[in-house]
A = this chain, B = another copy of it.
Amino acid sequence: MSSADSVTAGLLVIGDEILSGRTKDVNIGATADFCTDLGIDLMEVRIVSDVTDDIVDAVNALRARYTYVFTTGGIGPTHDDITADAVAKAFGVALPINAQAREMLESRWKQTGTEVNEARLRMARIPEGADLIVNSVSAAPGFRIGNVHVMAGVPVIMRAMLEALVPTLRGGKKVLSVTIKAAVGEGTVGGPLGALQEQYPDVKMGSYPQMGHDRVMTELVLRCSDAAQLEEAANKVRAMVAEAHAKAGIAAPAED
């Protein structure tokens, strides 16, 4: 439920290795947690392959729609790393070697005795007008252009870049949440929960079946930026669950 003053985000994950199943993505979950912590509503995620026009289309669709766009993947030194090219194309700007990025990289390479070559210098190519996103892990920078934040795909580097972004991002209202556990199935609480959702439209109510327990369990998650409204709705849900428990002959009250 995004309102006029909410801060939203879209995430674009770039890489054939995710779509082939060879690499199992963990950046989506990390970005989701990051956004939730800052009160930013992550509204949409897309994963596309290493094809320039697909990246351009996705970047342009997401940057028009959300406050912030994050991308991960495709900024390394090999031919299949085309994210910088695609983002430059999406913004219609050139992609020169950036002096500051080159200096950062060469300084690191000097320390590690790494040869400077054309492939490695690809990582210093930054769209004109972009700011660098530094990371201490690999020294190869990401960049921000407009509302688009381009980050590495390697999870530890990506998370370092996210942390580096915190001071530059405007957080929305922090969203509070309450989780209520019910020892009955989703189908039992579905009707009364739907009625409570209508009664409290600003409290977003989700219902999630828990499999693999000895008994049927359902987790009800309530989210709202207003603490008083959230608590009032949560008390109604707790009472509803207690009633469902009583009807089913279960002694336990709703458990947070």
Contact = CB atoms under 8 A, between A and B. Distances in A.
A20 B42 contact: yes
B80 A206 contact: yes
- Chain A contact residues: over half helix, strand or loop, or mixed? mixed
Interface in A51-97: 54, 76-81
Contacts of A102: none
Contact of A187 (B25, B34, B48, B114): B114
A213 interface: no
Contacts of A29: 21, 24-25
A225 interface: no
A238 interface: no
Contacts of A81: 207
B42 A44 contact: no
A187 B117 contact: yes
A54 B66 CA distance: 14
A16 B35 CA distance: 13
Interface string A91-120: 000000000000000000000001101111
A198 to B, nearest CB: 8
A36 interface: yes
Interface residues on A, range: 35 or more
Interface stretch (A125-133, A142-150, A188-196, A229-237): A188-196
Interface in A28-50: 28-29, 32-36, 41-50
B49 A46 contact: no
Contact of A78 (B26, B44, B207): B207
A79 B205 contact: yes
Contacts of A256: none
Given A19-B43, A154-B209, 7 more contacts: A16-B206, A25-B29, A28-B28, A50-B206, A115-B187, A118-B190, A119-B187
Q: Which 5 A-B pairs have the closest CB atoms?
A: A119-B190, A21-B32, A79-B194, A120-B187, A21-B33
